[in-house]
């Protein structure tokens, strides 16, 4: 996939990622407990430009892990976003803002997973679709 095309002749006017430029902002969040949750599925004919995500994980009872990932339409794993592993009683938090937005193609989805009844995942994404 190619990087997004800059629409302004003078790139010095701004720094970093534009949160919404000829597109619609996307801000989604989810809580997941012993399941897989879909935060967002990219609409047909659109591309999601992912510019920030956060991932919080409470590990209760037993050791475990939680992840955020991008899946294709099958759904098969396309790309990991965040993977947290902890021991019982820990609370883990992670956030990231890549310098260049990550392009997520149409029909792909961003999902969060954990696999224990005593685990809680809270996560979110920010970007825009065009």
Handedness of CA 85, 74, 111, 53 (dihedral sign): positive
Q: Examine the pLDDT at 90 and tell me if it is beyond 70.
A: yes
Question: SS3 sequence, 48-109?
Answer: EEEEEEEEEEEECCCCEEEEEEEECCCCCEEEEEEEEEECCCCEEEEEECCCCCEEECCCCE
Residue 77 domain-assigned?
Answer: yes
2-31: average pLDDT: 62
Instruction: Tally the domains of the chain.
Output: 1
Alpha carbons 84 and 63: distance in angstroms, whole number: 11
Does residue 73 fall inside a structural domain? Answer: yes
CATH number at residue 118: 2.60.120.220
Confidence bin at 21 (pLDDT 50/70/90): low
């Amino acid at each position: 996939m190619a990087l997004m095309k800059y629409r302004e002749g003078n790139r010095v006017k701004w720094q970093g990622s534009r949160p919404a430029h000829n597109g619609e902002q996307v801000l989604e969040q989810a809580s997941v407990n012993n399941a897989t949750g879909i935060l967002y599925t990219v609409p047909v004919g659109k591309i999601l430009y992912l510019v920030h995500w956060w991932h919080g994980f409470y590990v209760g009872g037993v050791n475990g892990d939680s992840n955020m990932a991008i899946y294709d339409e099958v759904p098969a794993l396309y790309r990991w976003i965040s993977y947290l592993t902890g021991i019982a009683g820990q609370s883990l938090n992670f956030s990231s803002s890549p310098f260049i937005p990550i392009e997520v193609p149409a029909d792909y989805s961003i999902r969060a997973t954990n696999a224990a009844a005593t685990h809680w995942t809270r996560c979110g994404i920010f970007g825009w679709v065009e």
